[in-house]
């Protein structure tokens, strides 16, 4: 794919902007734009734009970018409503990012095409006012901790929930980024020393989600064997300094209460065995569906005490209605959880999405809910909700940018060589030993690896 507009500069450039609000809103006294060209190819490029409001709160904004001629074309953009008329390109805020409080930012991005030399835009305006602020006097950024060294578990230690955030041993909010297995009953050959070494050292993953299906030839067919396999994968993640999410992967039937007794047996066993570990996170119901939030909550309030009896400190993730969509896929939203939360502490709520199927209304829900609920994206895909189809690059990047902005942890589906669009590896990869080279990665794998392998910079002070 390709992205919007013409090259502004070779790296992030701070521009001071002066803005006015709509007639109903107070005027903004300034803002900053950081424009970064993230990739470029013959005739096209991808860029990111970060708009930070430095003045009074703004409700509703449009950023206009003037190109030198009409030869520069907007191909597609995300995190805003993008349009082009001649040489003028505009980006308008969406429902979930249209309001910018003082100091708040909106991260946008786009693909563009061009002919001839790739020029610099001639001007920027915000809400109709020319951006005339100084580029030599950017706002003072808050101090940051020096990058910490060591493994994710070594740096962050025992995790906990602090307000709406996942926090480390220093009580500082963090974001974990990593990968989920496919069903371990089908793709066990993909999870070995070579693949986990690659995940930890080359992919630089913070977490490894172990998807243990309950039905579909999973746990119910061999409880002892699957429990042992999960524990082995937890140990392998621990040895490499990664967090392990133990996923009780219920899908069909969708009511988790169908597996209540199995869940109690399984979690009693794994919590007792792993209670002294700092790297374990428990996910007690993957994707409840066709069932009410009340029923899910009742299930959670029976399973959580079983875990707590053995492991009182670990973070627990609770699935949500509508395939863990906070109810959006069932026509609801986060309010049912906000108004009737699970009666337990140190828990987070699951949110799942597939970028080609779930777009702005799902992002709007996540953005609202993140200010009221501790959220963990324990599964997402770059493709459609079936796990197949083409990668929706624009929507995937919009999602990843939003999760980074909100500091929400995530695991991508899937670290496997399944013959489907969501797989990170091309079919047959798990028959070999290379899990790092570009030749074995699918389009989805290459995109996700490029995101999670960047520095974490976990806070330690």
Q: Which residues pair with 4 in a beta bridge?
A: none
CA distance 416 to 428: 10
Mark whether 287 is an active-site residue.
yes
Selected catalytic residue, list 238, 283, 334, 379: 379
CA distance 109 to 395: 10
The CB density around residue 327, as the number of other CB atoms within 10 Å, is 21
Selected catalytic residue, list 238, 283, 287, 336: 287
Q: Using the CB atoms, write b or e for 436-455: b if 16+ within 10 Å.
A: beeebbbebbebbbebbeee
Q: Which of 368, 398, 406 is nearest to 380 (CA)?
A: 398
CA distance 444 to 456: 21
Q: Using the CB atoms, write b or e for 350-378: b if 16+ within 10 Å.
A: bbbbbbbbbbeebbbbbbbbbeebbbbbb
Mark whether 220 is an active-site residue.
no
Evaluate whether 228 touches 273 at the Cβ level (below 8 Å). Answer: no
Evaluate whether 282 touches 316 at the Cβ level (below 8 Å). Answer: yes
Catalytic (active-site) positions: 287, 379
């Amino acid at each position: 794919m390709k992205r919007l507009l013409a090259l502004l500069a070779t790296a992030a450039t701070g521009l001071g902007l002066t803005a006015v609000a709509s007639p109903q809103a107070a005027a903004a006294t300034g803002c900053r734009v950081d424009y970064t060209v993230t990739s470029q190819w013959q005739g096209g490029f991808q860029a990111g734009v970060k708009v930070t409001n430095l003045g009074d709160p703004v409700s509703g904004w449009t950023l206009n970018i003037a190109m030198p001629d009409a030869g520069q074309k907007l191909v597609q953009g995300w995190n805003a409503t993008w349009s082009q008329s001649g040489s003028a390109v505009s980006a308008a805020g969406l429902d979930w990012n249209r309001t910018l409080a003082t100091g708040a930012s909106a991260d946008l991005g786009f693909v563009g095409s061009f002919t001839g030399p790739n020029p610099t835009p001639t001007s920027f305006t915000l809400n109709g006012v020319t951006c005339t602020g100084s580029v030599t006097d950017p706002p003072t950024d808050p101090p940051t901790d020096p990058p910490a060294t060591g493994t994710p578990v070594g740096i962050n230690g025992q995790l906990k929930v602090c307000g709406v955030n996942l926090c480390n041993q220093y009580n500082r909010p963090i974001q974990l980024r990593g990968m989920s297995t496919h069903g371990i009953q089908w793709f066990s050959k993909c999870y070995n020393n070579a693949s986990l070494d690659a995940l930890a050292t080359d992919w630089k993953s913070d977490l490894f989600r172990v998807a243990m299906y309950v039905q579909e030839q999973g746990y119910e067919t061999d409880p002892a064997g699957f429990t042992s396999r999960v524990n082995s994968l937890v140990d392998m993640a621990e040895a490499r300094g990664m967090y392990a999410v133990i996923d009780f992967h219920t899908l069909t039937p969708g009511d988790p209460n169908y597996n209540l007794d199995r869940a109690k047996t399984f979690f009693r066993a794994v919590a007792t065995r792993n209670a002294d570990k700092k790297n374990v996170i428990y996910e007690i119901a993957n994707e409840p569906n066709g069932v009410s939030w009340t029923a899910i909550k009742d299930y959670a309030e029976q399973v959580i005490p079983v875990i707590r009896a053995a492991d009182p400190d670990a973070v627990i993730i609770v699935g949500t209605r509508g395939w863990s969509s906070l109810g959006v896929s069932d026509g609801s939203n986060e309010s049912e959880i906000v108004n009737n939360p699970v009666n337990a502490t140190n828990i987070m709520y699951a949110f799942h999405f597939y970028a080609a199927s779930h777009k702005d209304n799902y992002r709007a829900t996540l953005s609202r809910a993140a200010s009221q609920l501790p959220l963990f994206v324990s599964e997402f895909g770059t493709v459609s909700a079936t796990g197949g189809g083409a990668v929706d690059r624009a929507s995937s990047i919009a999602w990843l940018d939003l999760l980074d902005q909100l500091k929400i942890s995530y695991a991508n589906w899937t670290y496997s060589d399944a013959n489907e669009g969501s797989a990170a590896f091309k079919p047959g990869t798990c028959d070999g030993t290379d899990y790092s080279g570009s030749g074995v990665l699918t389009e989805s794998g290459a995109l996700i690896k490029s995101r999670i392998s960047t520095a974490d910079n976990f806070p330690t002070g």
